[in-house]
Structures are given as structure tokens and as C-alpha cells.
Structure 1
């Protein structure tokens, strides 16, 4: 994987108030190292839809998915269900498992996936990237 060093600024930036950042330059960080700690087990997907907006994941975001992580309760995951890829929150209660949207839109419904042969976890979403200027 290619390195991506970027200047690191150690400062809190209030939204809407300009602040000269030059006084706070701390060094460089490697975005690839921060965003993709397991490059050989990671991939990206473009998110489509609005079922995860409360989780901060929006239509068009680029999701970084790590296959080396074991999915835990409340993780946001990428899974296959009924032959289709989906991005949902994984909820576990005892032996029961659900894929749950994170949206206020009632059109998106939880799906119980306990013991379903057509359900497979592909990986855990560790971060997303949203472009603000296209």
C-alpha cells in the first residue's frame, strides 16, 4: 500500500471561526496507516442509500472495511444477506443476531439473521471518507 503523509496540526478548530494553524504543526501522519491498519485484510466500498445516517455514514461515502476484525455487538459491518451486500449495525442478544439500520426513517427495518444460511459478515467498517468538495 502506498504511503500518504499529511501535515498533522494539533489544535481544536471551532467550526466557523478561522484560526491560524501554523503555530500548531506537530509533524506528519500517514493517513494510510491511520485509516487502514491491516491493508492486506482491508478493502473499500462506496455506500449507497440513507439507512445509516445516524451512524454518520451517508450516501456516496467511501467505507473502509477490515476483514481481519471479528465483528462485535454494535459494530457497523458489511454483510451479505439474500445475495446482496448491505451496511448495517450488528446487534447480538444472547444467541440471536440482527442487522439494524441506524436511521430515523421507518422504511428501514431491522432483520433478524440468526441461523440464516444466506447471511455472511464480510468485515467491520472501521472508518468512512466523505468528500466535501467534488
Structure 2
């Protein structure tokens, strides 16, 4: 028997990615990246995508285009279409996406990167 530790009131809870990323609902999916997808998203990164979120201008979408899964930025202001995060290719569309070669898998909400595998670039830039 003894006295309780005064530090018990200040104990921190562990990191709960379900709370931070709001992961775990029926519309949430986890996608592990197999190759570079642009914007620093390398192989092994984990994408949390949500199929229930309405895509709006500027959001990143995980989509299958011509059989390849990539991340695309939705553009709806000034022009309408999808812009690739890898090579800035642009697929334009009208008021509705009517293209059988495009399948939107969900809106990317979070990216979890393993920075231990990231390549360090020590190039001096002036």
C-alpha cells in the first residue's frame, strides 16, 4: 500500500489515429501506395480515403484512370477537370464526369508517410 503518484493526473493518452484521422467509419478506407504518386507520396505511404465526402475544388481524389490508380486534384474553378499530382496531366470534363475510363475511389483525407525511407537531398540550392 502506498500513496498514489501525483503524476497520474497528468498521464497522456497514447496516440489514437482513429480519433485524429476520423478513421473507422463505414465509408473510410486505407490504401497502401505501391509507387510514387506525386507531392512527396512515395511507395509505402498509407492513404486514408473517404467515399462519403463530396469532392469539391482542390480536393485530392484517389482514382483509377485507364486502369492505373493515381491521385488527382479536382479542379472546378475557371476550368473543370482532374489534374494529375504526378505529371500535371489534365483531363477536362463538362458539368458531369461521363468517362468510363475514370473511377473515383474516394477523397483523400490523410496521408501517413514513413519518413525513415525518405531520400535525403543534400543539393545546395541558391
Regarding TM over 0.5, the answer is yes
**Computing the radius of gyration over CA atoms, which structure comes out larger, 1 or 2?**
2
Name which of 126, 131, 134 aligns with 2:109.
126
Deviation at 1:58, TM superposition (A): 2.7
Q: Equivalent residue for 1:62? A: 46
Aligned-pair RMSD on alpha carbons?
2.7
Unaligned runs of 5+ in 2: 1-6, 118-126
Deviation at 1:93, TM superposition (A): 3.3
| Higher-strand-fraction structure | 1
Q: What SS does structure 2 have at the residue aligned with 1:27?
A: coil
Q: Contact conserved, 2:72 with 2:82, CA < 8 A, in 1?
A: no
Q: Equivalent residue for 1:46? A: 32
Q: What SS does structure 2 have at the residue aligned with 1:39?
A: coil
Q: Contact conserved, 1:113 with 1:119, CA < 8 A, in 2?
A: no
Distance in 2 between residues matched to 1:50 and 1:112, nearest whole Å: 20
CA gap of 1:89–1:48, structure 2 versus 1, over 3 A, is farther
Q: What SS does structure 2 have at the residue aligned with 1:74?
A: coil
Distance in 1 between residues matched to 2:11 and 2:74, nearest whole Å: 37
Q: What SS does structure 2 have at the residue aligned with 1:122?
A: strand
Q: What SS does structure 2 have at the residue aligned with 1:32?
A: helix
Runs of 4+ more than 6 Å apart: none
Q: Equivalent residue for 2:4? A: none
TM-score (norm 1): 0.62
